[in-house]
Amino acid sequence: MQPHVLIIDDQEAIRLFLAATLEARGYRVSTAGTGAAGLDQAAREAPDLVLLDLRLPDLSGLQVLARLKEAAPQTCVVILTSYGRTDAAVEAMKLQAFDFVTKPVNLDHLLAVIHRGLEAGESSRRRAQARTADDLFASLPGVVPGRSAVMQPVYETVRRVAAGGRSTVLILGESGVGKDILAQVIHRNSPRRDYPFLEVNCASLPEQLLESELFGHERGAFTDAAQQKLGLLELAHSGTLFLDEIGEMSLPIQVKLLRVLEKMAFRRVGGLEDIQVDVRLIAATNRDLAGLVAQGVFRSDLYYRLKVVELTVPPLRQRPEDLPDLARYFLRVYNEEFGKQFRDISPAALEVLAAQPWPGNVRELRNTIERAVLLGDGTELGVGELQIDAPPGDAGGDAELVRVLETALTSPLPAGGIVLDDLVERFEIAMIRKAMAAAADNQSLASRLLHLGRDRLRYRLKNYEL
């Protein structure tokens, strides 16, 4: 991916001139005319390098520089300053600016400075990343560390909570972004690493089963309770319990869980004595928990108790820098599994991958690579193998389906007949995609939109690899 340069300068002529010059040399460029807009853009775009004019209408350039460095110390900032204002430039250097260039700009000089700045940034990023990879992911060989700027604060928080004793962690993020994986990273890096990491999916069990799964039960507590059973809370003692899809937990169990969080004590179902445990809870959901609280289906006291530490994992489309490493990792895994000869992914294929919206995030990327490796042959995985049909946001796939269905419905049956299953399947996939998009990937909501039971929807999602 080309380096991204953000230009913050109040003079439009200079912005346009520099942007055109840099774009012509293959850089990605964005511009801002005020300090506030520049800071806002820098936070969103995480540019590799910022060209910063010291004289701005709203904030002083030095203030902007200080804030840029505070938010992202790795950012390389090159100062543009008027001739004769070297005092300010010196101040800027103290604030860790990379270098300064005086106006009127000597283009060759500016380009050389930008080039050096990007190289320096790249190597310091690599060092920082090596450090991250070494410590956080050392014990988890199947996890690919993200190199994107947006993931670094997430890892920083992971590092801090892992070290800190028992505080509860709430992991938020769309389906397939890697919430499970982060929960394991936390456990493996915590002092609890030699004790159990257990997990339960709150959506997969009916209320009563979930209750006895979590808290255990005494013999005779209910009809089927022939034996005493220890719950996950007891079994995870000294370790970590991961509660996946916490948003689906019923209100009565939420009450019991709240008590566990407050007292670290609970009773088995049908039991009379309090059992004390030492367990770190990590909860995850792809639903909007705050919204569920507002609707009254999730208890606000539990919500606040859970989100002592909140981690939001950004969707894959917001961190395209992470994609090549992930794709290459999955390529290696499936290459091995299917005994293929692929050595790398073509640059064009990587570009196509980077342009996808990935509603199913890393899981969907993994499935895409798996299918491509399974069906393809050769040493380089190209665009052809990817079988990515509709470009992002394009209704092309649907338009084709409309033609197919129209022909099927309005023409007489062809002599060779039709493959009914194929037609039905394509229609189903299109409708399910629509419903999932309308429901922002919330399966319960999508299943209601389709008037299809959740289990049946799930089965189809899995079956069609959606």
Residue 199 in contact with Mg ion, rule: CB under 5 A: no
Cβ proximity of 306 and 170 under 8 Å: yes
Containing H/E element for 230?
strand 229-230
Cα separation of 241 and 397, whole Å?
Answer: 42
Work out what residue 362 binds among ligand ATP, Mg ion, none; the CB cut-off runs from 5 to 8 Å by kind: ligand ATP
Span of 11-19, 174-182, 275-283, 297-305 interacting with Mg ion by CB under 5 A: 174-182
How many helices (H) and strands (E) the chain has is answered by 20, 16
Q: Residues binding ligand ATP: what is the number (CB under 6 A)?
A: 17
Residue 178 in contact with ligand ATP, rule: CB under 6 A: yes
Closer residue to ligand ATP, CB minimum distance, 76 or 203:
203
Span of 29-37, 103-111, 169-177, 384-392 interacting with ligand ATP by CB under 6 A: 169-177
Residue 315 in contact with ligand ATP, rule: CB under 6 A: no
Residue 205 in contact with ligand ATP, rule: CB under 6 A: no
Cα separation of 298 and 149, whole Å?
Answer: 33
Residue 180 in contact with Mg ion, rule: CB under 5 A: yes
Burial of 95 (0-12, 13-18, 19+ CB in 10 A): middle
Residue 175 in contact with ligand ATP, rule: CB under 6 A: yes
Cα separation of 46 and 151, whole Å?
Answer: 11
Q: What are the beta bridge partners of residue 7?
A: 31, 51
Cβ proximity of 243 and 256 under 8 Å: no
Cα separation of 261 and 258, whole Å?
Answer: 5
Show the site string, 273-302: x = touches ligand ATP by CB under 6 A, - = not.
-------------x----------------
Span of 168-176, 223-231, 256-264, 271-279 interacting with ligand ATP by CB under 6 A: 168-176
Burial of 370 (0-12, 13-18, 19+ CB in 10 A): middle
Work out what residue 386 binds among ligand ATP, Mg ion, none; the CB cut-off runs from 5 to 8 Å by kind: none
Show the site string, 124-143: x = touches ligand ATP by CB under 6 A, - = not.
------------------xx
Q: How far is the CB of 412 from ligand ATP (least distance, A)?
A: 45
Residue 362 in contact with ligand ATP, rule: CB under 6 A: yes
Using the structure block, give the residue that is written with the tokens 């342009």. Answer: 355
- Classify residue 269 by its DSSP letter: B
* Of the residues 229, 307, 363, 434, which one makes contact with ligand ATP according to CB under 6 A: 363
Q: How far is the CB of 461 from ligand ATP (least distance, A)?
A: 10
Helix, strand or coil, per DSSP, at residue 283: strand
Closer residue to ligand ATP, CB minimum distance, 142 or 414:
142
DSSP β-ladder status, 216-217 and 229-230: antiparallel
Closer residue to ligand ATP, CB minimum distance, 22 or 144:
144
Residue nearest to ligand ATP (CB): 178
The CA-atom distances, in angstroms, between 370 and each of 268, 361, 378 are: 43, 14, 15
* Of the residues 59, 93, 120, 181, which one makes contact with ligand ATP according to CB under 6 A: 181
Cβ proximity of 51 and 7 under 8 Å: yes
The CA-atom distances, in angstroms, between 434 and each of 137, 322, 370, 395, 450 are: 37, 27, 24, 11, 10
Closer residue to ligand ATP, CB minimum distance, 249 or 362:
362
Residue 366 in contact with ligand ATP, rule: CB under 6 A: yes
Q: How far is the CB of 346 from ligand ATP (least distance, A)?
A: 21
State the sign of the Cα–Cα–Cα–Cα dihedral 341, 347, 349, 354: positive
Binding site for Mg ion (CB under 5 A): 179-180
Binding site for ligand ATP (CB under 6 A): 142-144, 173, 175-181, 244, 286, 326, 362-363, 366
